[in-house]
Amino acid sequence: MRYHANARTNVQQRQRIRQSRDPYRVQARQLGVSVATIAKWKQRPVPQDASSRPRRIHKALPPELEPVLAALRQEWLLDLDAVWQALRQSLFPQLSRSAVYRELVRLPLQRLAALRPQARRARGRFRACPPGFLHLDVFYLPRLDGRRRSLCLAIDRATRLLTVQVYAAHKAASGVAFLAHCQRFYPFRVYRLLTDNGRECTLRGYRARGTTTNVHAFTQACRRARIRHSLTKPRHPWTNGLAERVGSTFKAETVHRFHFDGVAQLLQATYAFERYFNEHRPYKAMGGQTPRQLMHHWYAKQPQRVLRDPALTFTTW
């Protein structure tokens, strides 16, 4: 139940006031309120607070002009000044600009961008491909012991097999180390990577862009391993939506759910999520199968693509 901001009594006290036969002064002294308050709740039929809203709200815009204002805004998509000038010059000369804005807020029609029709981006599906196409993403973890650590995750498009690693720094060396970890972790050859434009994976978008002749260490490592490295378009995170979605799931089930007293607890929760995701969490888009089941399915269907028995692939926890 909602109470008035200055309420001095609650529902139980008000019901007691209505049922009591003691004098008003005695009840007021017992509850620490005025005699007028006791008399008010004796006469009121219900113990709920009445609305403090005025019975009649005076508005600068007459009610008969509201449909005209809504039509100018919704159908003609006129801005605030155009609506104000149209109403003032034709129907209501003494109308002020602020009165028009207050009426738009009340309707509510104050945001012109929300009224314009917007073309919805078609939701596509990732092209099917054999195991070895990895989606990578990197994001920061909560600050512990005065330091911010970064988490690198990779998920395979075909099997949804996930691996994560925590690093102390958010730089190129972390990306190279994580690439080497992926090559050891996955039981198949990694032939393509899709990442965003973070500084741990590329030099694109940072200082000296267009003039630098250096090659990023992550790019060099991909070339040595004969891995094709692709980048998403800037400000288009949905291009790497598979990794973005898994990253949101990781945060929702770990760092946004639990409080960690130290780095050891954070690492334990991180690698426990990896094991749970790979072995026990069914993937709805893949027919309710777990990533480990999908991996064994590919091993039975195309064993030539797998370098070693998937049963030997374990998490680091």
CATH number for 284: 3.30.420.10
The answer to whether residues 77 and 156 belong to one domain is no
Q: Is residue 77 part of a domain?
A: yes
pLDDT of residue 317: 46
- DSSP-assigned states of every residue in the chain: ----TT----HHHHHHHHH--S-HHHHHHHHT--HHHHHHHHH-SSSSPPP-S-SS---SS-GGGHHHHHHHHHTS---HHHHHHHHHHHT-TT--HHHHHHHHHHTT---HHHHS--PPPP---PPP--TTEEEEEEEEPPPBTTB--EEEEEEETTT--EEEEEES--SHHHHHHHHHHHHHHSSB---EEEE-S-TTT--TTSTTTTT-----HHHHHHHHTT-EEEEPPTT-GGGGHHHHHHHHHHHHHTTTT---SSHHHHHHHHHHHHHHHHHT--BGGGTTB-HHHHHHHHHHH-GGGBSS-GGG-----
Distance CA 49, CA 121 (A): 48
The answer to whether residues 221 and 75 belong to one domain is no
Q: Is residue 57 part of a domain?
A: no
Distance CA 131, CA 189 (A): 8
Contact between residue 126 and residue 184 where contact means Cβ atoms under 8 Å apart: no
Contact between residue 90 and residue 129 where contact means Cβ atoms under 8 Å apart: no
Residue 195, beta-bridge partner list: 231
Q: Is residue 48 part of a domain?
A: no
Distance CA 224, CA 218 (A): 10
> Cα-flanking dihedrals φ and ψ of residue 258, to 5°?
-115, 155
The answer to whether residues 237 and 102 belong to one domain is no
The answer to whether residues 147 and 273 belong to one domain is yes
Q: Is residue 54 part of a domain?
A: no
Here the tokens at position 158 are: 């075909």
Residue type, 62: P
Strand 162-167 and strand 150-156: pairing? antiparallel
The answer to whether residues 148 and 290 belong to one domain is yes
Q: Is residue 55 part of a domain?
A: no
Among 114, 149, 174, the domain boundary falls at 114
Here the tokens at position 72 are: 């100018």
Residue 271, beta-bridge partner list: none
The answer to whether residues 77 and 221 belong to one domain is no
Through-space distance between the first and last CA atoms of the chain, rounded to whole angstroms? 49
Q: Is residue 126 part of a domain?
A: no
Distance CA 32, CA 67 (A): 51
pLDDT of residue 207: 57
Burial class (CB in 10 A: 0-12, 13-18, 19+), 138: buried
pLDDT of residue 193: 95
Here the tokens at position 276 are: 């749970």
The answer to whether residues 179 and 279 belong to one domain is yes
Host domain of residue 99: 63-114
Burial class (CB in 10 A: 0-12, 13-18, 19+), 311: exposed
Listed as ranges, residues in the chain with pLDDT below 70 are 1, 121-122, 205-213, 313-317
The answer to whether residues 152 and 271 belong to one domain is yes
* Triad 68, 69, 74: Cα angle to 5°: 100
The answer to whether residues 101 and 157 belong to one domain is no
pLDDT of residue 242: 92
Q: Is residue 124 part of a domain?
A: no
The answer to whether residues 175 and 270 belong to one domain is yes
The answer to whether residues 150 and 273 belong to one domain is yes
Q: Is residue 122 part of a domain?
A: no
The answer to whether residues 143 and 286 belong to one domain is yes
pLDDT of residue 294: 92
Among 72, 87, 114, the domain boundary falls at 114
Q: What's the total number of domains in the chain?
A: 3
